[in-house]
Structure 1
Amino acid sequence: MLNIISILIGLLSLLIVIPAQIPLLGWANWIALPFIVVGIVIGQLSSSNSGRNFCLIVLLIAAVRLTLGGGIF
């Protein structure tokens, strides 16, 4: 059950992160980061790793975008 919740949180975060790839919308990644971290923690409590791994991939996408944009853009 926790794995499904983690995947759903990851999907919600991905819906925020995808539009944040557009220039000048990088600030949306800062909104998605707390959701991603909660998804990772819930996925870690689960017996399966797929939800946690999905959230880690979304975190990687958001972190790379924030790094390329200097943290704001």
Structure 2
Amino acid sequence: MGLIVNLISILAGLVALPVALVGLVPFFGLANYLAIPIAIVGAALGMLSGYRSGRNFNLFVLIVAVIRLVLGGGVI
């Protein structure tokens, strides 16, 4: 059961990563507001699974998105 939840967590991270990467482009920072909740859900699932890989991957995506929002002043 834990392995399946971890795989779902990794899939959530694989969905959030391209959205966060698009958010790195100037004037597309708003996409990070979509990537952050997806990464949070993925990280929560990763914590429930008992494996660390899904959690760590989603935390990486979350950190990238949050840093981009902080550096861009929120939207831009």
- The answer to whether the superposition gives a TM-score over 0.5 is yes
**Residue among 50, 53, 57 paired with 1:54:** 57
Alignment root-mean-square deviation, CA: 0.6
The equivalences for 1:59-70 within 5 A come to: 59-70=62-73
Corresponding residue for residue 9 of structure 2: 6
Say whether 1:43 aligns with 2:57: no
TM-score by length of 2: 0.93
> In structure 2, how many angstroms separate the alpha carbons of the residues matched to 1:6 and 1:66?
23
Query: Identity percentage over the alignment?
Result: 47
- Which has the larger share of helix? 2
TM-score by length of 1: 0.97
CA displacement 1:13-66 (0-9 Å, x = unmatched): 001011110000000000111111100110000121100000000001001100
**Residue among 25, 31, 34 paired with 1:28:** 31
Structure 1 segments, 4+ long, off by >2 Å, are none
The count of aligned residue pairs is: 73
Unmatched runs of 5 consecutive residues or more in structure 2: none
